[in-house]
Structure formats: structure tokens, C-alpha cells
A and B are shown apart, each in its own frame.
Chain A
Amino acid sequence: MSITSLAGRPAIVGVGTTPYGRLPEYDQYDLGAWALKEALSDSGLALGDLDGLIVSRIGDYQRFGEMLGINPRFTAQLPGQGRMAGIAIQQAAMAIATGMASVVAIVYGNNGRSSHDRYGGEGDQYGSGGAGQWFPYGMTSPGALHAMLFERHSALYGTTSAQLAEIAVTFRQHASLNPQAVMRDPISIETHQNSRFICEPLHLFDYCLINDGGVALIITSQDRAKDCRKKPVYIRGVEQATALADSSMPPDDFWRKPMQSISKRIYKQADCSRDELNALMIYDNFTPTVLFSLEGYGFCPIGESGPWVKEGHLRLGGRFPANTSGGHLSESYMQGWALNVEAVRQIRGECGDRQVENAELIQYMAAAPICTSIIYGVLPR
């Protein structure tokens, strides 16, 4: 059974972001509260209007709620993993659709750069939970896992590092048009190819940028959205599928099965087709994830994502402009959260030099042991 529409027509009515970069004066709570203040101001709502709160990567929901002085009737805390961004939005949409809450704030605070969070090695808190069993072999870090997946993809389909470079170069080009992006100097295919290896075959420019920052979104129903400052951006579809079984090892199918399962349902829920999409926001913790997502979510045939991206489809002006903010590779690794904000800002037409013309339908997608996807629309379903 699949959902055909969400009751209440949940919509994003406020988005807030802090600057990204090195912000050593702020902890996760400060960054989350700052982003939330921006989101509330964007929406025209006040703290007192919130009756739902979901936090991610912020250490303790209770302390955060105490700091804000609020008593929501729906509260949840999600771990600080990127796959949780889509889940937070899904949970908020569910709370609105069921009436369990009427205005939900979802808040993310990440001081990973200043607090030297590690994604590999013995102090790793985020990258490879429970993966200590592989340390005796020197195996660690999500980057290593993605390098292995990419090497396998290369062996099966002939995908090349220069095709990955196209992704890094494209997203950097987009970042050069985004004042909020941390890395704005354009790079070339050669820059990518000549950069040092981290986990070979992945180069430095195949990796996302760890930074400090906060992101918040305010979600409410179509009805309630009428009182807000800006035009709502509707959550026309939101779906999740997982591959938790055997997930300590890289998957044979590059997470295709859960992504295909989502694709079967999400266009029905959103009442649109792939062809109608104006832009994509693709979770890009590493460049290969973009390839796996394009194949899994059905934008190109299996095994052909490398040549497909080389044709320039992901560029501004291309068929499916992607990660117009620069994404995790060049704007900042805000773990999916800022990509969802970018989708909202594109649909509102707030993106200045990087604005996609007539951006009315945008799909967010993530590939991991938990896959999530969201389709945003300027109009409700």
C-alpha cells in the first residue's frame, strides 16, 4: 500500500541557516537556536507557536527545549547522521498529517569542525559506529567505504574518476554563485584529478567539507501556512526505504533496492513524474553517492551514471540542475539539511545568481542504509 496524499498538506513555511565555516564561539545548541530564530523570523511565527520539536545532532533535546523555554506536545531526537535529515522532515510531515502537532520545528546544530569531530580512526563518533572490529586491519571511515563502492562500480561498469570530477567541478561552479558557500573558487577536472588521494580511488575533492553551522525548518499545514510571511513550499511526497540487513558491509546493489522502492511510491504520492522536476538535491557526502543515487532513483540506466553526468545534466542550465548551493562538496556538509533548505529557496525564487528558472518541483534524495526522498512543490498536490 502506498500513500496517495498527506492529510493537511504539510508545507515548509520557514527556513533558517547560520553562516557555515569555523564558528568556535558556538556549540551545537547555540547553532541550532540561531538557525531556529532565523527560520521563525522567515516564517513570521514565534517560538510560542511551536508545538512540535525534532532535533538532530544537538546533544540533548531536553536541554535544547529548556534553553528555548518551550513545552511542545510532540518531541523527538535523531542521531547526528546525515540520513536523519529526510527522516526529520518525514516525521514532521507525519505529525502535521495526523494532527499530532500543528507547527513543527526541526533543528540541526553541528559544531563538528571546531570540536574536531572525527569520521574515522579511534575517536570516531559519527562515521562508523560499531566498526571498531575492523580497526586491526586499518579499516575506518565512511570515505573508505564509498571508495570501495566506487572501485566496485568502476570494475562492473567502467566508471572513471574523471566522471566523479565532473560532479565536483559542477557543484563547485554552483557554489561560486552562492555567497553562503564555504568553497567558492572554481576548480577544473585537472584540479580534481591532481589532488591528493584520501582513500584511493577517491581524491580530496570527492569528499564533503566538515564545518560548523546550524539549519532549521518550520513545517505546518496548508491551512496554517496562510498566516505565514512567505508562500509555503509544499511537501508533496516524502518516502523512506532501508537496507539495514547486512549493512556493516558495502551493499552489492549500491542501495538500489530501497531507492527503487521509494521511486515506485513517491511520484504517486507527489502526483508528478521525474520529467516534470526542475532541479535535484542529491545527498553528496562523497561524489560516488551522487552516481548511486542517479541510478537508484531512476534518472539514468543502471551502470551509466558516469557517462550520464559527463553530459552535463547536473549543471545549472542542464536538464536536472543539482545541488545548486554547491552541496556538501562545496557549500558545507550540513548532512542533508541545507540541501532541503536550498530546495525551498529555489522554489521561492530566492537564489539570486544560481536561481533555476521556474523552479516548481524539486526532489531531494539520499542513498545510505536508510534512503529518503522528498518532492517539494510550489503548489500542493
Chain B
Amino acid sequence: MIPSTGHAKPLPVIDRHNRTYWEGTREHELRLLACDDCNHIRYQTFSTCPHCGSDRRHWICASGNGTVWSWTRFHKTYFPGFATDMPYVVVVIELDEGPKLFANMVDMRVPPKIGTRVKAVFEAVTDDVTLVKFKPA
């Protein structure tokens, strides 16, 4: 599964639902869907609002500020592309806007303390894909 781009790690599947999100990260914006009717903000690019059921929605640009909710450090290699990063940390970030997401800290080696305030940074991994990562604020 090594893409010809030279990036050995898995890449996101970009589709019509999340295209705006991935266009945003290339412009160093963390875009989230907001409900036109109840203002609920979601990370998942569902066509309807999980809070009120409305399908009327718009994209907002999130602050990129959040808090470390938890972490785990992988000692088992599930992805060959991560072999040289072992062991690496995946974090759960709770964004100030509400949604949680999985991500990496820029430094994937050291687990951050739960509760650490963080700020989004943008890391281009291919011409098309820029990942959102986090560093201590």
C-alpha cells in the first residue's frame, strides 16, 4: 500500500463529503461542519446534523485550539509505514469548538499530559494531503 508519492504511511480517502475539509488543511485551516439550524458543530462530515437532524450546513474555520483528552502509545506495528516511528503516540484532542478527534502531536514519541492545551499545526505529507497535528500551546 505504499503510494507513489513517497509517503509510506496510509493516506486519507478524499471523497465528496470531506473534500472541503482536506482543501482547508492545505490552506492551513481546520474546517468543521456547523448546522445552519442549531449551530451544533461536528467533525464527522455527515450530511445531517446529529443534534437536530437538519441537513442545512456550512463550513466554519475552527480556532485550532484544544485540550489533550487522552493518548495511547503504539508498541505493535499495525502499519508498515509507521515502522520507523515505533513506538509512536496517538492523541485524542478535544477541540474548543466541542468535537473530539484522533491525531498526532508533532513530536510523536512522548505522550503529552492529559489536559495539556494544544494548538493545531499543518503538515503537508503529499502534494494533495496536509495533516492536522498538534503542539503544546
Contact = CB atoms under 8 A, between A and B. Distances in A.
A144 B104 contact: no
Contact of B75 (A135, A152, A198): A198
Interface in A333-360: none
A332 B69 CA distance: 32
Contacts of B13: 132-133
Nearest to A137: B104
B53 interface: no
A152 B114 contact: yes
Given A144-B90, A151-B70, A246-B50, A198 B12 contact: no
Interface in A121-152: 121-122, 132-141, 144, 147-149, 151-152
Contact of B79 (A121, A155, A196, A249): A121
A79 interface: no
Given A136-B11, A138-B9, A200 B102 contact: no
Interface residues of B, number: 37
A136 B78 contact: no
Which residue of B70, B85, B92, B100 has the most chain A CB atoms within 10 A of its CB atom?
A: B70
B90 A139 contact: yes
A152 B70 contact: yes
B90 A250 contact: no
Contact of A135 (B79, B100, B111): B79
A134 B104 CA distance: 10
Contacts of A133: 12-13, 18
A149 B70 contact: yes
Interface in B66-111: 69-76, 78-79, 82, 85, 87-88, 90, 92, 99-104, 111
A198 B87 CA distance: 10
Interface in B116-133: 125, 129, 131
B137 interface: no
A201 B101 CA distance: 20
A138 B71 contact: no
B10 interface: yes
B136 interface: no
A137 B71 contact: no
Contact of A197 (B75, B92, B100): B75
Interface string A136-179: 11111100100111011001000000000000000000000000
A155 B72 contact: no
Contacts of A152: 69-70, 114
Contacts, number: 97
Contacts of B102: 134, 137, 139, 249
Contact of B50 (A197, A201, A245): A245
Contacts of A187: none
Contact of A140 (B1, B71, B78): B78
Nearest to A131: B102
Nearest to A252: B69
Contact of B44 (A140, A155, A200, A248): A248
A32 interface: no
B12 A197 contact: no
Nearest to B115: A155
A143 to B, nearest CB: 8
B110 to A, nearest CB: 12
A313 B100 CA distance: 35
B57 to A, nearest CB: 17
Nearest to A152: B70
A200 B87 CA distance: 9
B43 to A, nearest CB: 8
B7 to A, nearest CB: 9
Contact of B70 (A141, A197, A250): A250
Interface in A237-269: 245-246, 248-250
A199 interface: yes
A155 B87 contact: no
Contact of B74 (A135, A144, A151): A144
15 contacts: A132-B13, A133-B18, A134-B90, A135-B79, A137-B103, A137-B131, A138-B79, A138-B85, A148-B69, A155-B115, A196-B75, A197-B75, A200-B73, A249-B102, A250-B100
Interface of B: 1, 9-13, 18, 44, 50, 69-76, 78-79, 82, 85, 87-88, 90, 92, 99-104, 111, 114-115, 125, 129, 131
Nearest 6 CB-CB pairings of A with B: A135-B10, A147-B72, A121-B78, A200-B73, A148-B70, A152-B70
